[in-house]
Structure 1
């Protein structure tokens, strides 16, 4: 069960990195309202959250590839340590995404196999 928690925390991390908003906390009924209306915040749906996480993984992989290419072309700003760290981050993000996909497929299969 800790694997699922780790994957969910990774998705939340990606979500915060790309600037999306999750579910907002309920407003405080004791808070003082100075006559201004707070903008309505639409909570992110599961699909949006998943799509944003996938876009985040894609961006990480693109950055890793660009950094590796810059290293191969001899760019002095792209040192080997940065390239290796970026490659590892990309690999971890992709593995987490595959694991989430596998869990979703398994959950779908479990629901479809439930007796009526």
Structure 2
């Protein structure tokens, strides 16, 4: 289980590094710092941000699950390109992606509940 978590964390870090590289290359006004030191668009109404990242992550999980399902069906139908090892790896990848998404959802719900229970 810890290997799966380490794998997911390394994938997240790799994705962050790729996104940082893209942000450095792109000279977008949406990522320029403001007078307060926070990037423009943080807490604003501009597109992107956390909501878009979560939507993309959920779409990616859905795509991984459908790909694994298609590979499983191909194996069941006897397609020679779909060997058992590829099917098992695809199914495990989809399972890890789904578990990671559920864990993020659980953490967000817990954070929301903590904020809502804070005294004013």
What is the aligned length? 100
1:101, 1:47 → 2: CA distance? Answer: 12
Which residues of structure 2 form unaligned runs of 5+?
32-47
Deviations 1:53-75 (A, max 9, x none): 11111110010000000000000
SS of 1:114's equivalent? coil
For residue 24 of structure 1, what is the aligned residue in structure 2?
23
Check if 1:75 corresponds to 2:74: no
Could you say if the C-alpha distance between residues 6 and 79 of structure 1 is closer, same or farther in structure 2, counting changes exceeding 3 Å? closer
Structure whose residues are more often helix by fraction: 2
Check if 1:112 corresponds to 2:116: yes
Which residues of structure 1 form unaligned runs of 5+?
28-37
Check if 1:63 corresponds to 2:67: yes
Normalised to the residue count of structure 2, the TM-score between the two structures is 0.68
Aligned structure 1 segments of 4 or more residues deviating by more than 6 angstroms:
14-17
2:88, 2:53 → 1: CA distance? Answer: 28
Q: Which of residues 65, 73, 93 in structure 2 aligns to 1:89?
A: 93
SS of 1:64's equivalent? helix
- Deviation, structure 1 residue 40: 2.8
For residue 103 of structure 2, what is the aligned residue in structure 1?
99
For residue 56 of structure 2, what is the aligned residue in structure 1?
52
Contact 1:60/1:90 (<8 A) preserved: yes
- Deviation, structure 1 residue 42: 4.4
